[in-house]
Amino acid sequence: MNSEEERRRQIARDNLRILEEQKLNVKKTLQAELDTMQIQKLQNVTFNQDIKLLQKKVQARLSPTCVSLENNITVGTKDGSVIKFDLNLNKLSQIVSFQGLPEKTTNQRQRYASPFQKGHSKPVYSVSQQQKYNLSMQKEYFNVRDADTTSSATVFGVNLTALSVQANIAAVADDKTIQIVQLADQVVLHSMIGHVDTVTQIQFLQNSTQFISCSTDSTLRLFDYDQQSQLIYTVDSPLECCACLSTDYFVGGGEQLYLISRKKRTPVFTYSFESDIYCRKLITAVGAVQGYNCLVVGLFNKLVIFKMNGEQLIVHKEIPLQNQFVNGIDCKIINNKFTVAVVLGGERKFDRLDKTDGKSELLVFEIGDVQKQGRFRM
């Protein structure tokens, strides 16, 4: 054996030793965090006896795909439109609509640099409105629009599928990789790897550098972009959606509904829905507000409201739909009321495996009253 080959082998052995030490250190850090972590207590929602549903038709050629609930309601559609609604629970009124653009293949610059005001040329997979930023995302790029200056910027990707925003930071799924982007300068701070298939949804934990993500690789992962660490939770089916109930409990939706504890690698509770057609038993959207014991689950032809009790999810109420798929759910506490916005359509968000005559609608309702959380309540 010559000296050059021996030198290369020694370098490989040294690299392996360093990787093993790093893995051990990360494992010790995460275990110490779990051991010292305080359990976040869930606040109770006082459920209404009757739920008043407020429905509004979404004026678009194709089904709505996503929704964001803040001061206003923003809806994205499959034809590339971005529509804003005034949040008035007596009457929903459309504020503005940015119509989808025809896809341009001859001029790449025009195709990709479409400003937020002009909509998108492909399905809008995610919309978000956080503080002064409005975001909308299609497959190749997402737009960042500053509400104060009305300026807009474009951040490019290859196969963007999911987006979550907290303050000035966005977590953006580009196929299997999650990019951490600073919105003010559109700079990528970190790249989080781990998923081996398409990431379908991302959700930040409140006031934290941590977020959860789910994927068609049948895992839900808890990332910390500051510590560059992750915890992996394995389920039995590809996941289409996820939500945070607290800092300790997460929910994933696919062929079943999975309740996941931060301290356990596999689900602590599962719930399934029956259907003769595979696409129609899949859970397509879930929504929750971190710190409250209420969960909203959407699938074909129904919305189901769950109440969390211990490590179980108990069905509180089912809301029937009219031959529609639930493509997006967003929940917020507004005026001390647990408020939900849902978008419905005749086909699924990411594909056209099943199509019905269901109408494209925005559904808004209040589940019940809540007690306002204290600033330091745990």
pLDDT tens profile 63-116: 999 999 988 899 999 988 888 888 876 666 665 555 555 444 444 444 444 444
Out of 21-25, 149-153, 154-158, 298-302, which region has the weakest mean confidence (pLDDT)?
A: 21-25
pLDDT, residue 115, reads 40
Confidence grade of residue 295 (pLDDT, cut at 50, 70, 90): very high
The mean per-residue pLDDT over the stretch 52-64 comes to 88
CA 152 to chain centre: 23
Q: pLDDT digits over 265-284, tens only?
A: 999 999 999 888 888 899 99
Length of the chain in residues, anyone? 378
Contact criterion met (CB below 8 Å) for 65 and 162: no
Does 188 score more than 60 pLDDT? yes
Confidence grade of residue 251 (pLDDT, cut at 50, 70, 90): very high
Q: Give the architecture-level CATH label for domain 43-370.
A: 7 Propeller (2.130)
pLDDT, residue 212, reads 96
The mean per-residue pLDDT over the stretch 12-39 comes to 60
288 vs 202: CA distance, rounded Å: 13
Query: Model's pTM, two decimal places?
Result: 0.82
CA 205 to chain centre: 11
Confidence grade of residue 37 (pLDDT, cut at 50, 70, 90): low
The mean per-residue pLDDT over the stretch 33-52 comes to 75
Closest CA to 294 of 313, 311, 307: 307
Q: Which distant-in-sequence residues (6+ apart) come within 8 Å of 327 by Cβ?
A: 63, 64, 65, 66, 284, 285, 298, 343, 344, 345, 348, 349
- Residue 27 backbone phi and psi in degrees, to 5: -60, -45
306 vs 324: CA distance, rounded Å: 20
